[in-house]
């Protein structure tokens, strides 16, 4: 059963989401984000998922991977340096999550050419380069864009 999110809670959840967007490279955890939203950790996690379609941790990791993709495209930092620059503390976990969301390893992504997207405005590129889940929870074989409603659950 989906939890209903009140307008008052949504305002507080957006405040916490803004903290994730701004401070993604800092050590963030659910209790700290729940304090920002003035909620208990459990209520915050359930409400965040109901409002935004993913857990706070998944949202944080999506932001980190988006930023990592931008840093890797520049090509002047190693994969390890990018891992730590975006706030991850384990290269193995970072690489696994990056591969899961992007579909290729950070090293392969860094080595690939990226000039074709250079002329695209950043606001448009962000939409089209947002990491996708490579595993379809409904089993239909289609990747599900993170943050979008799962079509199998939407009805």
Q: Using one digit for the tens of pLDDT, what is the confidence trace for 65-82?
A: 999 999 998 889 999 999
Distance CA 134, CA 65 (A): 14
The pLDDT assigned to 144 comes to 47
The pLDDT assigned to 40 comes to 95
The pLDDT assigned to 154 comes to 45
CA 121 from centre of chain: 20
Q: How many CB atoms lie within 10 A of CB 145?
A: 13
Indicate the helix (H) or strand (E) that contains 33.
helix 30-36
pLDDT at 6 over 50: yes
Closest CA to 23 of 59, 70, 49, 54: 59
DSSP summary character for residue 116: G
Closest CA to 110 of 75, 81, 63: 75
Determine what percent of the chain is predicted with pLDDT higher than 90.
62
Determine what percent of the chain is predicted with pLDDT higher than 70.
72
The pLDDT assigned to 131 comes to 65
User: Measured over all CA atoms, what is the biggest interatomic distance in the chain, rounded to whole angstroms?
Assistant: 47
Tokens 């990791």 found at: 61
pLDDT at 125 over 70: no
Distance CA 83, CA 89 (A): 7
State mean pLDDT over 32-58.
Answer: 94
pLDDT band, very low/low/confident/very high, at 16 (cuts 50, 70, 90): very high
Q: How many CB atoms lie within 10 A of CB 13?
A: 23
The pLDDT assigned to 126 comes to 64
Tokens 């459990």 found at: 42
For the segment 48-67, what is each residue's pLDDT rounded down to a tens digit?
A: 999 999 999 999 999 999 99
Task: Please give the structure tokens belonging to residue 145.
Answer: 């864009």
pTM of this prediction exceeds 0.75: no
């Amino acid at each position: 059963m989906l939890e209903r999110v009140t307008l008052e809670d949504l305002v507080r959840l957006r405040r916490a989401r803004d903290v994730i967007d701004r401070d993604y490279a800092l050590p963030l955890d659910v209790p700290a984000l729940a304090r920002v939203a003035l909620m208990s950790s459990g209520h915050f996690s359930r409400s965040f998922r109901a409002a935004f379609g993913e857990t706070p941790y998944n949202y944080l990791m999506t932001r980190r991977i988006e930023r990592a993709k931008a840093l890797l495209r520049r090509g002047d930092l190693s994969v390890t340096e990018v891992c730590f620059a975006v706030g991850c503390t384990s290269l193995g976990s970072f690489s696994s999550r990056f591969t899961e969301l992007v579909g290729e390893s950070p090293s392969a992504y860094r080595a690939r050419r990226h000039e074709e997207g250079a002329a695209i405005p950043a606001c448009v590129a962000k939409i089209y380069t947002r990491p996708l889940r490579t595993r379809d929870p409904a089993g239909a074989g289609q990747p599900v864009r993170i943050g979008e409603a799962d079509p199998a659950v939407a009805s």
